[in-house]
Amino acid sequence: MVRRLPVVVICLVLAGCTPGAPATTPQVPRPLGAPGGWRLAFSDEFDGATLDPHHWSDHSSAEPDGGRGNPGNQQLEWNRAGNCRVGAGRLAMTARRDRVISPASGQRYGWTSCLITTAPVFHIRYAFLEERAVLPARRGFWPAFWTWQAGGVDRHIETDVYEYYSDNPGRLYGTQFSGVGGRCEWRPPFHPAGGWHTYGVAIEPTGTTWYVDGTAICRTAATSDGPTAIISNLAVYARIPPEPGTTTAVKLVDYIRVWTATAPPA
């Protein structure tokens, strides 16, 4: 006759649990450096094997050539899904020297790259946005994390969390285009291609504040005046193009998170 083990022993052997131990709740991440009052509303930790289609689209109304190209904005790239790869807990956005003809306009492009946007599934107006990333080092590349007006909005609404021109590692730029506008230009005490750093912005009714690695670096009284989608991308800069021998560049993203205010804005 086989003796039955008490339920508590089965629990210990099979599940490694401890009788009476309280269940642990995963800690919800908070925005780095920001005061309290924010609730996590959106996050992608890029822990899967592909981009989550419930979070992201690979084309945007910010790119007037078929949602994938914008040569009028000094951009050399045609964005496509194949240049956005998820694995090992990160998103790799790869710009690649490649020839493409736009089916929408017939425009010829010498590069392909990656753009992701939350449109049309997720939009914000007032929020805290944060991206942890390693930016490319080679000349000619233009990574950015920003917002763009939602579909149906008839005016320009844009907040740039950061723009970075890889030929000039001594500058990061943030811009609030809405309302009276406001600009942040900052000299980082590090090379943005040298390791992981966190770039954030708080868009509030009273103004816009930019953060790097949890430290507030700039503030303007200008703020967003309508709904926007979130965009992360790696552009190729026509004004200072890559050197002839350069064939690829990569922007790595560890996560993208968005918080909204816990109380309605005044």
Q: Can you tell me whether residue 97 is helix, strand or coil?
A: strand
Identify the sign of the CA torsion 210, 215, 217, 219. positive
Task: Find where tokens 């966190």 sit.
Answer: 198
pLDDT of residue 237: 98
pLDDT of residue 25: 62
For residues 30 and 257, give the distance between their C-alpha atoms in angstroms, rounded to a whole number: 9
Quick one: what percent of the chain has pLDDT higher than 70? 89
For residues 127 and 38, give the distance between their C-alpha atoms in angstroms, rounded to a whole number: 8
**Would you tell me how many other CB atoms lie within 10 Å of the CB of residue 36?**
7
For residues 200 and 261, give the distance between their C-alpha atoms in angstroms, rounded to a whole number: 15
- Listing DSSP states for 140-202 in one string gives TEEEEEEEEEPTT--S--EEEEEE--TT-TT-EEEEE-STT-EEEEE--SS-TTSS-EEEEEE
pLDDT tens-place string over residues 21-74:
555 667 899 999 998 899 999 999 999 999 999 999 999 999 999 999 999 999
- E strand map for the chain: 38-44, 77-79, 84-87, 90-101, 108-113, 115-117, 127-134, 141-149, 158-163, 172-176, 182-186, 197-204, 207-212, 215-220, 228-236, 248-261
The two structure tokens encoding residue 143: 């990574």
Q: Shortest CA distance to 255 belongs to which of 15, 80, 38, 44?
A: 44
Query: Which residue segments constitute the domains of the chain, with CATH numbers given?
Result: 48-261 (2.60.120.200)
pLDDT of residue 212: 98
* Cβ 223 vs Cβ 205: under 8 Å: yes
pLDDT of residue 180: 82
pLDDT of residue 266: 57
What does pLDDT average to over the chain?
Answer: 91
Any residues with CB less than 8 A from the CB of 16 and at least 6 apart, and which? none
For residues 260 and 266, give the distance between their C-alpha atoms in angstroms, rounded to a whole number: 14
Q: Shortest CA distance to 262 belongs to which of 31, 36, 38?
A: 38
Q: What is the DSSP letter of 83?
A: G
Measured in degrees and rounded to the nearest 5, phi and psi for residue 70 equal -150, 65
Those residues of the chain that have pLDDT short of 50 are 1-19
Task: Find where tokens 């969390």 sit.
Answer: 161
